[in-house]
Amino acid sequence: MACAICGTRFDPEAEVACGSCPMSGACTLACCPECGYTTVDINSSRSAGLLARLFPSRTEGRPVGATLDGATIGGEVAIAGFSDAMTTGHRELLRAYGIEPGRTVRVEQHSPVTVVGVDETEIALEADLAKLVFVAAKP
Amino acid sequence: MTGEMPRQAGFVALVGHPNVGKSTLFEALTGHRVIAANYPGTTVEIVRATGRRLGDTFIDSPGILSFPSRTEDEQATVRVLLDEELVGVLQVGDAKNLRRTLLLTVQLAEMGVPLTLALNMADEAHDRGLPPDSDGLSRLLGLPVVATTAVRGEGIEPLEAALRRPELASIRVRYPEPIEVAIRELAKLLPPASVRERSLALLFLAGDPVVEEWVRARCDDRRMGEAVRIRSVAAEALGTPLSSAILEARFEVVDSLVGHTTQASAGSRPIRKQRVSRMTTHPLWGLPLLAIVLYGMYWFVGVFGAGTLVGWLEGTLFGRYINPWVISAVGRVSAWDWLQDLLVGEYGLWTMGMTYALALILPIVATFFFAFGLLEDSGYLPRLAVLTNRIFRAMGLNGTAVVPMVLGLGCVTMATMTTRILSSKRDRLLVILLLSLGVPCSAQLGVVMGMLGGISMTAMMIWAGVVIGVLVVVGWLAARLVPGDRSVFVTELPPMRRPPLRPVVLKTVARVEWYIREVVPLFLIGSILLFILDRVDLLAWLIGVAEPLVVDWLKLPAEAATAFMMGFFRRDFGATGLFLIAGDGLLSPLQMVVSMTTITLFVPCVASVLMIAKERGAGTAAAVTALVFPLAIFIGGLLGRVLEFIGWSA
């Protein structure tokens, strides 16, 4: 799980931040070990899990920092890396298409999906994936 | 170091990324026509043919992005490389995307098969100010490298000359030490293959599913267990997925190679087609452009094909000249009533089977395939995937599903095969279900347009709205019932091109020929079956059985039961029957909408059910059939009641 405030990744099962809390036994909240921010652990809470599945968050899993889905249209950005939340298969697929750390891509549009120019090819990818690609200003 | 191989005639596989012109080059080398188009995934099956000037047998394989393989069509390519005794591999690469091309070259070079590289679409590379540096690359790689523009037949002779002297590439990739150790250990353990031990070991380490299966089939449990252990040890030592580390090492070599070519120093220049390309996927301009494309198709197929051409062929040529002549000729030569009935009766081989196939279906499929050929060669289909991604997302799929769905408008049987380009079993199953349920093939679409277009635009909209609504609801429900996660949408958008007329016409002719070969025998079998059922009075009995459903539930005249019986063989066959009943004035506008909607939701045809059984197993085919027919009848009856309730008349 990643803290929505500071981005620290931690295991909610470990209960590192709230072990001292008297309610920690049946509690389905998780506290960030770095900043103490409280987040609902949707794997533990059935009702919150059901709600989360019915109304999926558009920002859930979004890594902290600049990501490809937010890059300025018409500009060029350097790929800085991939979020840990991205599967190895997706990571390798993007790399095979030329979207890989260190490379510069042209951002062409974000709606209905993100389209980037890589070398002489255009690659279309959904926001779900584009939000897991870190970008930085073109060197 | 390069080593020239002794050259004898044998099998040469064409391997390359999707949509780089492998099938076009295959045709140029062999003269054997395969359907090629401007979107990834046109080739989903292996095709073989003998070279025109070379004695080799060329194998056209589906496109592969990189190893390990991800989709079923990519896996077919890995099987070719593993199982065929190849004398050479012809890599077809995109001349303007050198980096990606060389990533695959490095992987093919590792396999130790004599290799030739064709830098295809050289014209596009020139247009963008990136002329291919064939000689420089040839020296760097130690391979014959030829620039080609297959669609214009340019560079084919030099390529054939190069194919006579393929060479083993001089590229070697150095991987991190844990991987090198694992390669050495696996080389002693894995069975011999047609590719180098090092390459086989790398594919196994990267987790290629075909190689995994191949090794499992040839190793006992102990050796397999040991191989898996070696892989785990390497992964643990590296701390990153092995496939990523392998890709990383290859990219280092590729970057170094690209840096040494003159193409790397040339700056790309934008071209006008890129602006058109952007408009087609633009959130604002994309939809009006899509509406224009759809209207153009409707006019060409629905108005011109199903209206003008069918009217002339069925009404004038067959109705006034051919059929009366055939009926009188049969009457003169045959003394037996049953034979006359079989040939030119109500369910006659000529008057029903051939007239349906040639006068009603042929003009519709021909115009559809021509319009579809223009669309696919222009590169519009992947852009349609971008535009429709949100709709497919609601059905638990992604925009890639639009390719088989649109192909299904041509022929559902063909489209069922194309589901192999989808990356997961779940997606393939969902698309097959939707194709079987509500994607009308061109023949049926034409009949629908001809019949409902004649009533009103509202009738067409009700039909389309119900069919699309059923597709979305069933897709939404099925996506929640079928286990597995939705695949995220990633696709390459090939360049927009002006569709060349000759290939489009040739492709249309080839598809029409294929369609007639499939449709005419089925129409004739359908006619014979109906004729026999009619002669032994079983048809009346079957219609009697179907009547409660047709008359009481669907509220259609009893005559429509015959058309629905025909619809079990092919739904366009049934739709044509309904079209003729409507022509006799037996159906009201409401009944026309209900009957057309019901038959559109039928399983497409016997051939498509057989294709589902071939692709996904008999169980899936039976389950799809058992679900679709009752659902179609249920929706039809429900629609009739709703339309009656709101008082819709036309």
pLDDT of residue B645: 94
Residue B70 at interface with chain A, using a CB cutoff of 8 Å: yes
How far is B13 from chain A, CA to nearest CA, in Å? 22
Residues B156, B186 share a domain:
no
Collapse the DSSP code of B601 into the 3-class scheme (helix H, G, I; strand E, B; otherwise coil) and give the result: coil
Q: What is the DSSP string of B466-477?
A: HHHHHHHHHHHH
Q: Residue B36 pLDDT more than 60? A: no
Instruction: Choose one of B236, B265, B294: the last residue of a domain.
Output: B265
Residues of chain A with C-beta less than 8 angstroms from the C-beta of B251: 95, 100
Query: What confidence tens digit (pLDDT) does each residue in B244-254 have?
Result: 899 989 999 99
Which among B66, B130, B492 has the least Cβ separation from residue A121?
B492
Which among A98, A109, A112 has the least Cβ separation from residue B390?
A112
A96 with B491: Cβ contact below 8 A? no
What average pLDDT does this structure show over B104-129?
A: 92
A96 with B390: Cβ contact below 8 A? no
Q: Single out the residue of B66, B19, B81, B76 nearest to residue B44, CA to CA.
A: B76
Instruction: Choose one of B235, B265, B295: the last residue of a domain.
Output: B265
A129 with B488: Cβ contact below 8 A? yes
How far is B490 from chain A, CA to nearest CA, in Å? 4
Residues of chain B with C-beta less than 8 angstroms from the C-beta of A125: 488-491
Residues B490, B619 share a domain:
yes
Buried-exposed string B31-56: b where 16+ CB fall within 10 A, e elsewhere? ebbbbbbbbbbbbbebbebebeebeb
Question: Higher confidence at residue B440 or residue A56?
Answer: B440
What is the rounded distance in angstroms from the CA atom of residue B457 to the CA atom of residue B562? 28
- The two three-digit tokens of residue B21, written as one number: 């012109």
Q: Single out the residue of A54, A69, A22, A59 nearest to residue A39, CA to CA.
A: A59
Residue B447 at interface with chain A, using a CB cutoff of 8 Å: no
Q: Is residue B62 part of a domain?
A: yes
How far is A130 from chain B, CA to nearest CA, in Å? 10
Burial of B334 per CB tally in 10 Å (0-12, 13-18, 19+): middle
What is the rounded distance in angstroms from the CA atom of residue B404 to the CA atom of residue B511? 16
User: Angle at Cα B496 formed by Cα B491 and Cα B501, nearest 5°?
Assistant: 125
The chain A residue lying nearest B486, using CA atoms, is: A128
Residues B431, B555 share a domain:
yes
CB neighbours of residue B226 within 10 Å: 16
Rounded to 10°, the helix B134-141/B242-259 angle is 130
pLDDT of residue B4: 46
Which among B98, B247, B281 has the least Cβ separation from residue A92?
B247
Where along chain A do its domains lie?
Answer: 12-54, 68-137
Q: Residue A117 pLDDT more than 50? A: yes
> Could you tell me the CA-to-CA distances from B469 to A5, B439, B475, B476 in Å, in that order?
42, 12, 10, 10
Q: Is residue B4 part of a domain?
A: no
What is the rounded distance in angstroms from the CA atom of residue B524 to the CA atom of residue B562? 16
Percentage of residues in chain B having pLDDT higher than 90: 35
Count how many domains chain B has. 3
Query: What confidence tens digit (pLDDT) does each residue in B151-187 have?
Result: 888 999 999 999 988 778 878 899 999 999 999 999 9
Residues B201, B71 share a domain:
no
Rounded to 10°, the helix B380-394/B457-481 angle is 70
The chain A residue lying nearest B286, using CA atoms, is: A112
Segment 547-606 of chain B within 8 Å of chain A by CB: none
Counted across chains A and B, CB pairs separated by less than 8 A come out at 100
A128 with B488: Cβ contact below 8 A? yes
Helices (H) then strands (E): counts for chain A: 3, 7
Q: Is residue B383 part of a domain?
A: yes
> Could you tell me the CA-to-CA distances from B23 to A52, A53, B41, B514 in Å, in that order?
47, 44, 11, 18
Question: Higher confidence at residue B13 or residue B580?
Answer: B13
For residue B312, the surrounding DSSP H or E stretch is none
For chain A, the C-alpha Rg in angstroms (whole number) is 18
Q: Single out the residue of B564, B530, B532, B523 nearest to residue B547, CA to CA.
A: B564
Question: Higher confidence at residue B640 or residue B41?
Answer: B640
Query: What confidence tens digit (pLDDT) does each residue in B281-293 have?
Result: 888 888 899 889 8
Q: Residue B631 pLDDT more than 70? A: yes
The chain B residue lying nearest A119, using CA atoms, is: B97
What average pLDDT does this structure show over A75-81?
A: 90
Q: Is residue B96 part of a domain?
A: yes
What average pLDDT does this structure show over A77-82?
A: 91
Tell me if B209 sits within 8 A of B126, measured CB to CB: no
Query: What confidence tens digit (pLDDT) does each residue in B237-278 have?
Result: 998 889 889 998 999 999 888 888 766 555 566 556 667 788
* ipTM metric: 0.75
Handedness of CA A45, A50, A56, A57 (dihedral sign): negative
The chain B residue lying nearest A94, using CA atoms, is: B490
The chain A residue lying nearest B382, using CA atoms, is: A124
Residues B119, B188 share a domain:
no
Tell me if B394 sits within 8 A of B409, measured CB to CB: no
What is the rounded distance in angstroms from the CA atom of residue B517 to the CA atom of residue B520? 6
Residues B251, B294 share a domain:
no
A92 with B103: Cβ contact below 8 A? no
A91 with B244: Cβ contact below 8 A? yes
CB under 8 Å, gap of 24 or more: what pairs does B533-536 form? B534/B346, B534/B347, B535/B338, B535/B341
Tell me if B399 sits within 8 A of B386, measured CB to CB: yes
Helices (H), B359-500: 362-378, 380-394, 402-408, 412-418, 425-438, 442-452, 457-481
Question: Higher confidence at residue B482 or residue B14?
Answer: B14
Q: Is residue B276 part of a domain?
A: no
What is the rounded distance in angstroms from the CA atom of residue B308 to the CA atom of residue B299? 11
For residue B343, the surrounding DSSP H or E stretch is helix B337-344
B251 with A100: Cβ contact below 8 A? yes
Q: Residue B334 pLDDT more than 80? A: no
Q: Residue B418 pLDDT more than 80? A: no
pLDDT of residue B417: 77
Cα B597 → chain centroid: 25
What is the rounded distance in angstroms from the CA atom of residue A15 to the CA atom of residue A13? 5
Q: Residue B12 pLDDT more than 80? A: yes
> Hey, which of B249-253, B451-455, B491-495 has the most confident mean pLDDT?
B249-253
- The two three-digit tokens of residue B563, written as one number: 């058309």
Residues B237, B121 share a domain:
no
What average pLDDT does this structure show over A34-40?
A: 75
Residues of chain A with C-beta less than 8 angstroms from the C-beta of B387: 112
How far is B360 from chain A, CA to nearest CA, in Å? 39
Q: Residue B599 pLDDT more than 90? A: yes
What is the rounded distance in angstroms from the CA atom of residue B539 to the CA atom of residue B565? 9
Percentage of residues in chain B having pLDDT higher than 70: 95
> Hey, which of A58-67, B123-132, B498-507 has the most confident mean pLDDT?
B123-132
Q: Residue A23 pLDDT more than 70? A: no
> Could you tell me the CA-to-CA distances from B359 to A122, B314, B326, B437, B497 in Å, in that order?
43, 5, 15, 26, 34
What average pLDDT does this structure show over B217-234?
A: 93
Residues of chain B with C-beta less than 8 angstroms from the C-beta of A127: none
> Could you tell me the CA-to-CA distances from B319 to B311, B325, B337, B446, B448 in Å, in that order?
10, 10, 22, 19, 21
What is the rounded distance in angstroms from the CA atom of residue B31 to the CA atom of residue B47? 13
| Chain mean pLDDT for chain A | 78
Residues B631, B553 share a domain:
yes
Band of pLDDT at residue B433, cut at 50, 70 and 90: very high
pLDDT of residue B331: 86
What average pLDDT does this structure show over A15-44?
A: 69
Strand order across the A133-137 sheet: A133-137, A76-82, A104-109, A114-118, A121-125, B490-493
What average pLDDT does this structure show over B34-51?
A: 64
Q: Residue B609 pLDDT more than 90? A: no
Q: Is residue B273 part of a domain?
A: no
Phi, psi of B97 (to 5 degrees): -120, 70
Residue B93: strand pairing partners = B119
Q: Residue B188 pLDDT more than 70? A: yes
Residues B163, B259 share a domain:
no
Q: Residue A9 pLDDT more than 80? A: no
Question: Higher confidence at residue B208 or residue B611?
Answer: B208
Residues B208, B160 share a domain:
no
Going by C-beta distance under 8 Å and a sequence separation of 6 or more, which residues neighbour residue B115?
A: B88, B89, B90, B91, B105, B108, B109, B143, B166, B167, B168, B169
Q: Specify the residue for token string 């963008």.
A: B128
pLDDT of residue B1: 39
pLDDT of residue B273: 64
A93 with B281: Cβ contact below 8 A? no
Residues B238, B358 share a domain:
no
| Chain mean pLDDT for chain B | 86
Instruction: Choose one of B144, B168, B192: the last residue of a domain.
Output: B168
What is the rounded distance in angstroms from the CA atom of residue A109 to the CA atom of residue A73? 6
The chain A residue lying nearest B423, using CA atoms, is: A89
How far is A22 from chain B, CA to nearest CA, in Å? 38
Rounded to 10°, the helix B442-452/B457-481 angle is 140
Q: Is residue B272 part of a domain?
A: no
Q: Is residue B113 part of a domain?
A: yes
What is the rounded distance in angstroms from the CA atom of residue B587 to the CA atom of residue B595? 9
The CATH class given to the A68-137 domain equals mainly beta
pLDDT of residue A15: 53
What is the rounded distance in angstroms from the CA atom of residue B416 to the CA atom of residue B623? 16
Query: What confidence tens digit (pLDDT) does each residue in B348-369 have?
Result: 888 888 887 888 778 888 888 8
Residues B430, B504 share a domain:
yes
Name the least confident of B59-73, B89-103, B384-398. Answer: B59-73
B91: containing domain: 11-168
Handedness of CA B69, B72, B75, B76 (dihedral sign): negative
What average pLDDT does this structure show over B413-432?
A: 83
Residues of chain B with C-beta less than 8 angstroms from the C-beta of A111: 283
Helices (H), chain A: 46-54, 88-96, 127-130
